[in-house]
């Protein structure tokens, strides 16, 4: 008898559960849903869609996730993408899970913002132009393109083109927004060149390979990248070599990132006498459309302070 009662209880539970879920009210669906893969894309999309009626921008990975290295797709992410009209990605191998998404949701429009941008190879710094339909493995290309303002501008333009194609009714608005944002970015780039170009010291050490594009743009020389993968720890030999390199090359400043722990940077700085500063690759930040501009301005001030 006990068994039967338990079985009945289980059965009624099973029946109650789905019906309970079904009554959740659904809010008003926005006319056009843009989902971005991670923070830099989110900030770009906020600017391009600013004030366009009926458009909702959602950031899949959340504001505090940082770079998508080794990001594991969660059920809620797939749900989110299922209801999206457009999925905006950085491309160049940043979204390692993209193949899985495309396989699962073949109807989803993906806007790859890295199209046409000259990519650097990880570690070596060799160049490689990314073209449309280019589907070989990009595991060895450096995906941190948005950290260079020039490349960021190209990405914003790619994004605008993609959105205009998917939502032609609002194309004019997207283009207008893009023009305004690109103008701001260009002004910032000019300002940064003015501030950074005359600095005497151009050798820097960074952690996590986020800055090669930035360094190329402002003609800085990255002596060494410690921890090419963000979450690995440098070995003792790598630390020792870096310390010697810093001493020999006369590097005055070691740049850590706010997203990662500074312990290795602290060790190198303490041993070599260099100073640790923070450079922000803008992979996390506030829910604000000016976040990229603000962070870059902050980076400019840091560099001026560190390298003069």
Name the residues that contact other proteins, by CB under 8 A. Answer: 61-62, 64-66, 69-72, 74, 230-231, 233-240, 243, 261, 263-264, 267, 270-271
What SS3 class is residue 254? strand
Give the separation between CA 250 and CA 291, rounded to whole angstroms.
33
Nearer to other proteins, 173 or 254 (CB): 254
Nearer to other proteins, 60 or 222 (CB): 60
Query: To the nearest whole angstrom, how small is the minimum distance from the Cβ of residue 263 to other proteins?
Result: 4
Give one DSSP letter per residue of 8-68, joined into a string: HHHHHHHHHHHHHHHTSPP-PPPSEEEEESSHHHHHHHHHHTTT-TTEEEEESS-TT--S-
Nearer to other proteins, 160 or 246 (CB): 246
Those residues whose C-beta lies under 8 Å from the C-beta of residue 182, and which sit 6 or more positions away, are 153, 156, 157
Closest to 257 (Cα-Cα) out of 201, 219, 295: 295
Closest to 105 (Cα-Cα) out of 83, 90, 88: 83
Nearer to other proteins, 169 or 240 (CB): 240
Query: To the nearest whole angstrom, how small is the minimum distance from the Cβ of residue 75 to other proteins?
Result: 11
Report phi then psi at 226, rounded to 5. -90, 145
Q: Helix count (H) and strand count (E) of the chain?
A: 10, 10
Query: To the nearest whole angstrom, how small is the minimum distance from the Cβ of residue 251 to other proteins?
Result: 16
**Is the separation of the CB atoms in 12 and 61 below 8 Å?**
no
Nearer to other proteins, 247 or 288 (CB): 247
Query: To the nearest whole angstrom, how small is the minimum distance from the Cβ of residue 29 to other proteins?
Result: 25
Query: To the nearest whole angstrom, how small is the minimum distance from the Cβ of residue 97 to other proteins?
Result: 12
Give one DSSP letter per residue of 94-142, joined into a string: S-TTHHHHHHH-TT-EEEETTTTPEEEBTTT--EEE--TT--S--TTB-
**Is the separation of the CB atoms in 50 and 174 below 8 Å?**
no
Query: To the nearest whole angstrom, how small is the minimum distance from the Cβ of residue 64 to other proteins?
Result: 6
Nearer to other proteins, 238 or 297 (CB): 238
Query: To the nearest whole angstrom, how small is the minimum distance from the Cβ of residue 10 to other proteins?
Result: 23
Nearer to other proteins, 8 or 240 (CB): 240
């Amino acid at each position: 008898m006990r068994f039967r009662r338990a079985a009945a209880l289980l059965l009624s539970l099973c029946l109650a559960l789905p019906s309970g879920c079904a009554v959740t009210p659904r809010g008003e669906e926005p006319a056009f849903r843009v989902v971005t893969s991670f923070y830099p894309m989110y900030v770009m999309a906020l600017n391009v869609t600013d004030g366009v009626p009926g458009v909702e921008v959602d950031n899949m990975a959340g504001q505090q996730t940082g770079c998508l290295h080794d990001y594991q797709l969660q059920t809620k992410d797939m749900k989110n993408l299922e209801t999206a009209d457009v999925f905006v990605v950085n491309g160049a191998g940043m979204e390692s899970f993209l193949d899985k998404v495309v396989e699962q949701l073949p109807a989803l429009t993906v806007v790859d913002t890295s199209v046409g941008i000259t990519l650097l190879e990880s570690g070596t710094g060799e160049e490689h132009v990314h073209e449309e339909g280019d589907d070989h493995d990009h595991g060895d290309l450096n995906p941190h393109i948005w950290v260079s303002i020039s490349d960021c501008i190209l990405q914003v333009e790619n994004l605008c083109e993609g959105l205009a194609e998917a939502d032609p009714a609002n194309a004019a608005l997207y283009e207008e927004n893009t023009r305004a944002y690109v103008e701001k970015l260009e002004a910032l780039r000019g300002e940064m060149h003015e501030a950074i170009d005359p600095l005497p010291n151009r050798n820097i050490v960074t952690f996590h390979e986020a800055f090669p594009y930035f360094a190329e743009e402002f003609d800085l020389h990255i002596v060494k990248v410690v921890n090419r993968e963000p979450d690995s720890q440098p070995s003792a030999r790598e630390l020792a070599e870096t310390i010697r390199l810093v001493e020999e090359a006369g590097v005055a400043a070691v740049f850590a990132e706010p997203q990662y722990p500074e312990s290795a940077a602290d060790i190198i700085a303490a041993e070599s006498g260099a100073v640790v500063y923070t450079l922000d690759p803008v992979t996390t930040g506030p829910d604000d459309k000016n976040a990229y501009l603000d962070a870059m301005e902050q980076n400019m001030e840091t560099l001026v302070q560190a390298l003069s």
